[in-house]
Amino acid sequence: MMGSISKRLLTMIPMILGITAVSFVLMQLAPGDPLAMMVDPSIHESDLAQVRENLGLNQPVWIQYWRWLLAVLQGDFGYSFVTGQPVLTVILDRLPATLLLSGSTMVLIVGITFPLGIWAGYKANTAVDHWITVLTFIGMSIPAFWLALVLLLMLSVQLEWFPLSGFQNYAVFEPTVWQQCASIVHHMVLPLVTSVLGGLAGLTRYHRSGVVGILNRMYITAARSRGVGPSRLLFKHVAKNAALPIITLLGLMIPGLIGGSFVIEYIFAWPGMGQLGVSSVFARDYPVLMAILVFSSLLIMLGTLVSDIAYQWADPRVGRTSV
């Protein structure tokens, strides 16, 4: 097993190189550059040319890529073209907000969909099942921007239960840790509800079909014939096996954790990675974009690797056949 892991880690190196090279070139192929966006009659073309030269943007793409790669190998991701800050600082500034929101979303979605899916699967094709399906699909079909605005209008503007936007109460200059945590949680409720409601349907259906499949297995029939009661059957025999695929799912969801949802972050002014990514694309902030790309591809690869390993550990049958 250790051998196969190191082999996979090794194959990640050329993959990362390939991904960065292709994206670097693609990014530069898109029209415009960090300076072309400035359309202001008081700015002259010669000024833009000088800054382009300072940033090295007048070099051929492959030289720019080579320089970038050499720097990155030494741990230097460069400076943002937009703010002049070190790229890692830019990203680390935005990461906590996104991790908090998407981590909470993931925990809530798994925590809600798993029992819901089991219930729907156990009661497959009954009224309960149909209602769960209909409600979760309504959640999925409502566009996030619309739901977000309705929540804001009702719960924030009308009832004033929740703050409108932002990460915490900015008017308090030196909050205590406790005040700060409370304020962040308070600000997170509406964005969290919006993102959770949209993500329920998929996983509920997934768990439901898993449970339906398990209920048809011979060992369930055997357990039933041995006289195992419905609750013991459901929680001991079904739930345990239905939980296995969650490991894979969690592994696949890890990369999504750092991406953040642009729509939700934008509407609620949540200071996360989704906003950073999109604004960096529009501003052609190449260093920030490349760093986001490197981290998310690394996470995707590591995420799949970890989930494969975890799956093998949880279900020894898998290890015998492949990896």
Among 31, 60, 227, 316, binds other proteins (CB under 8 A): 31
Q: How many CB atoms lie within 10 A of CB 2?
A: 6
Of 58-117, which residues contact other proteins (CB under 8 A)? 79, 82-86, 90, 93-94, 97
Q: How far is the CB of 198 from other proteins (least distance, A)?
A: 17
Q: How far is the CB of 41 from other proteins (least distance, A)?
A: 5
Measured from the CB atom, the residue of 160 and 230 that comes closer to other proteins is 160
Q: What letter represents residue 219's amino acid?
A: Y
Q: Work out whether 138 is an interface residue with other proteins (CB under 8 A).
A: no
Of 212-251, which residues contact other proteins (CB under 8 A)? none
Specify the DSSP class assigned to residue 238.
Answer: I
Q: Which helix (H) or strand (E) holds 89?
A: helix 87-122
Binding to other proteins by CB under 8 A, coded x per residue (else -) over 163-182, reads xxxxxxxxxxx----xx-xx
Alpha-carbon distances of 306 from 115, 294, 301, 319, 320, rounded to whole Å: 25, 18, 9, 14, 17
Q: Work out whether 37 is an interface residue with other proteins (CB under 8 A).
A: yes
In this structure, what token pair is assigned to residue 156?
């924030």
Among 183, 296, 297, 307, binds other proteins (CB under 8 A): 183
Number of residues that bind other proteins (CB under 8 A): 69
Facing residues of 86 across strands? 79
Q: Work out whether 266 is an interface residue with other proteins (CB under 8 A).
A: yes
The whole-angstrom separation of Cα 41 and Cα 38 is 9
Instruction: Give me the half-sphere count of Cα atoms (radius 13 Å) on the Cβ side of residue 262.
Output: 7
Among 2, 10, 29, 40, binds other proteins (CB under 8 A): 40
Nearest to 298 by CA among 4, 15, 5: 15
Facing residues of 26 across strands? none
Q: Work out whether 15 is an interface residue with other proteins (CB under 8 A).
A: no
Measured from the CB atom, the residue of 79 and 295 that comes closer to other proteins is 79
Q: How far is the CB of 255 from other proteins (least distance, A)?
A: 21
In this structure, what token pair is assigned to residue 91?
């990203």
The whole-angstrom separation of Cα 152 and Cα 154 is 6
Measured from the CB atom, the residue of 33 and 129 that comes closer to other proteins is 33
Q: Work out whether 287 is an interface residue with other proteins (CB under 8 A).
A: no
Stretch that binds other proteins, among 160-168, 214-222, 234-242, 287-295 (CB under 8 A): 160-168
Q: Work out whether 46 is an interface residue with other proteins (CB under 8 A).
A: yes
Question: Which segments within the chain are labelled E, that is strand?
Answer: none
Q: Work out whether 276 is an interface residue with other proteins (CB under 8 A).
A: yes
Alpha-carbon distances of 174 from 97, 170, 178, 179, rounded to whole Å: 19, 10, 11, 10
